[in-house]
Amino acid sequence: MSNIKHFVKPPEKQTTMRLQNGRRLAWSEWGPVDGLPVLFCTGAGMSGRLGFGVNDLPSLGLKLIAIDRPGVGLSDPHPNKTLSSWVDDTQEFIQANHLDNVLCVGFSQGAPFAFALAERNLVKAIAIVSGQDELAHPRLKPLLHPDVERMITAVQQNPMEFEQQFAQRTTPEGMWQLIIGMSGECDRVLYENETFCAAYQQALKEGFSQGGYPYARDLVNALSLWHIRLGEITVPVYLWYGALDTSTVHSPDFGATLALRLPNATHIIDPTQGGSILWTRGRDILAKLKSHVSTT
């Protein structure tokens, strides 16, 4: 893949801050210092080191900020991490860094974390890309893959046991094999490229550097009912899916039900793309987001 360097670029800046409760919050940045901020909620078990659309950031006037979720990467763990606690941390981050006109992208398991920010009106617009749906929602139950349905049931019956089991048995190597195993041919072309593979695996290695419990906690939060009032999210929401995405843990109907639950959604299904649409159409995703912020 000749343009692989367009997809993979190490963070231009990595730094940390201390939250008011003493925990460390870490993040990675790309793009101009004075660019409009785009918060990037990464996929499952990933640190913030693998960005997207990074070569397009200067021309778009955007700055990409990928926060390590608590316990993942270099961020200190939260003793009882929830979607709500994530919002509290992020709100403090936004205020401490004096960020205005914040945009947000949620990829894969990052979707509920992005929705949580939108519900609290911390962002001007969001893009959900290959997003994990609210798989525990009753409307989706008939559409779920049997393996996913069993996971949802297990979380509902005993979330603590589910979390412990996944924390103990999940590794960055195992996570990578799971991703490849659920990916279609068009996604594997990118994911199995040597350069991209190394970057993605490094993000997973960093994501699991504090063990498997932070990932397992994110998993439980994502597979449970979100308790996010999607119908009250008034900011623009872009739902980006590739029709060739074969992952069973994204959205069983490529966001169709999700779009109906949102009052201000633009639903985009690209027939030529898969789950890796975050990287292959990164500029388009970012440009549409930016259109909702006035720079005058």
pTM for this entry? 0.97
d(CA 39, CA 295): 18
Question: Are the CB atoms for 32 and 61 separated by under 8 Å?
Answer: yes
pLDDT at 168: 97
Alpha helical stretches, state H, the chain: 57-60, 83-96, 111-119, 146-157, 159-169, 172-182, 185-191, 194-207, 213-223, 256-261, 277-280, 282-290
Q: Which residue has the tokens 């970012």?
A: 286
pLDDT at 2: 47
Residue 296 has pLDDT above 70, yes or no: no
Q: Which residue has the tokens 């961020």?
A: 75
Least confident of 23-27, 222-226, 291-295: 291-295
Residue 29 has pLDDT above 80, yes or no: yes
Count of other CB atoms within 10 angstroms of residue 193 = 16
CA 11 from centroid of its chain's CA atoms: 17
Question: Are the CB atoms for 124 and 292 separated by under 8 Å?
Answer: yes
Which residues, in sequence order, are CB contacts of 267 under 8 Å at separation 6+?
239, 255, 256, 259
Residue 1 has pLDDT above 50, yes or no: no
Distances from the Cα of 101 to the Cαs of 41, 124, 129, in angstroms? 17, 6, 20
Distances from the Cα of 89 to the Cαs of 116, 182, 257, 262, in angstroms? 12, 32, 29, 25
Q: How many residues does the chain have?
A: 296
Q: What percentage of residues in the chain have a pLDDT greater than 90?
A: 96
Tokens of 11: 């963070």
CATH tag for 4-290 (out of 3.40.50.880, 3.50.50.60, 3.10.20.440, 3.40.50.1820): 3.40.50.1820
Residue 54 has pLDDT above 50, yes or no: yes
Strand partners, 65: 29, 39
Q: What is the tens place of the pLDDT at every residue in 150-206?
A: 999 999 999 999 999 999 999 999 999 999 999 999 999 999 999 999 999 999 999
Residue 295 has pLDDT above 70, yes or no: no
pLDDT at 264: 98
Residue 228 has pLDDT above 60, yes or no: yes
φ/ψ (deg, to 5) at 129: -120, 120
- Quickly state the pLDDT bin for 5 (edges 50, 70, 90): low
Q: What percentage of residues in the chain have a pLDDT greater than 70?
A: 97
User: First and final CA of the chain: distance in angstroms?
Assistant: 39
